[in-house]
Structure 1
Amino acid sequence: MSDTTPRKKGKPNLTEMRRNARSFALQALYQWSIAGQPIHEIEAQFRVDNDMSNTDTQLFGELLRGVTGAATDLDEAYRPFLDRPVDDLDPVELSVLRIGAYELVHRLQVPYRVAINESVELAKVFGATESHKYVNGILDKLAQRVRAAEIRARRSGQ
């Protein structure tokens, strides 16, 4: 995948830097799933081949290592909500779901709505025409399971 991370003039804000990190992470995870290359080699390649000056590189590294290290557990977390086997998912959808699931399960400082929205945006940019709707539905169901207290608190206005 080529670098399709948007570059804006001026200093990016933290949200943009995190979005760029997720975009690069998705591309790297896609490469990992297709090529089977060790993730540390892919990470090094991305850091050399791409301008990451407007990227939260710490988040980029965390997502790469976290998603690849927990891929099986992440797949198991959302498997009940899939309409097909994990192996039948498009590699882009799979990578997006893994990033979203990782953030929902392991990055509790990220609000569940942000984790879902960021994954939906990735699916809109990189995925098939309707994949963002599929990703949204799966991650919403996962959030209800792993972030139930946060969702209840939000709904009750706390």
Structure 2
Amino acid sequence: MSSAHASRSVARLAAVQALYQMEVSSIGVEHVIREFTDHRFDRDIEVGDNESVPLAAADEAFFAELVRGVVAEQGRVDAAIARRLAENWRLERLDATVRAILRAGAYELAHRADVPTEVAIDEYVEIAKSFFEGVEPGFVNGALDAVARDVRPRT
């Protein structure tokens, strides 16, 4: 994985975490971006007894764009996701982490045409796998694939 790809992957994961944090704590977008920039990026992660490894550097501008974009476009993003949920399912019924993953993924698919569809979907499925072992990664894959068909031009 290239360092640019790794830094985008870290930014996506951080964006999902920031969106989750905003939802459960009701803190504002600029506050959460500043918290991540000041206290979470460029840190080492503990992997064992007195052992740590550096996290890949995050693409902080990409992170901030994702978080600000989801917040600014949340009505449209949520509508794009809700259109693809099973009948009688509402976005509010989904786990908060799944909502954050879907929101970041749907935003990226709708607003970052420079990112290939397969890359965006794969990245968010991998994030889902880091949080869930059950059906959620498959659900994220199916939902984002359906959103992509709605928001990306067919070639």
The verdict on a shared fold, with TM-score over 0.5 as the criterion, is yes
**Is residue 2:82 matched to residue 1:63?**
no
**Is residue 2:151 matched to residue 1:146?**
yes
Identity %: 36
Q: CA RMSD in A?
A: 1.6
Q: In the alignment, what sits opposite 2:99? A: 94
User: Normalization by structure 2: what TM-score?
Assistant: 0.85
Name the structure where strand makes up a greater proportion of residues. 2
Bigger relative contact order (CA 8 A; separation at least 6): 2
Q: Could you tell me how far 1:33 is from its partner in structure 2?
A: 0.8
Distance 2:132 2:16 in 1: 11
User: Normalization by structure 1: what TM-score?
Assistant: 0.83
Letter in 1 for 2:134: T
For structure 1, the 5+ residue unaligned runs are 1-11, 154-158
Distance 1:28 1:109 in 2: 23
Q: In the alignment, what sits opposite 1:19? A: 9
Q: Secondary structure at the match of 2:34?
A: helix
**Is residue 2:41 matched to residue 1:51?**
yes
For structure 2, the 5+ residue unaligned runs are 43-55
**Is residue 2:80 matched to residue 1:108?**
no
Q: Secondary structure at the match of 1:87?
A: helix
Q: Secondary structure at the match of 1:140?
A: helix
Once superposed, which parts of structure 1, at least 4 consecutive aligned residues long, lie more than 4 Å away? Answer: none
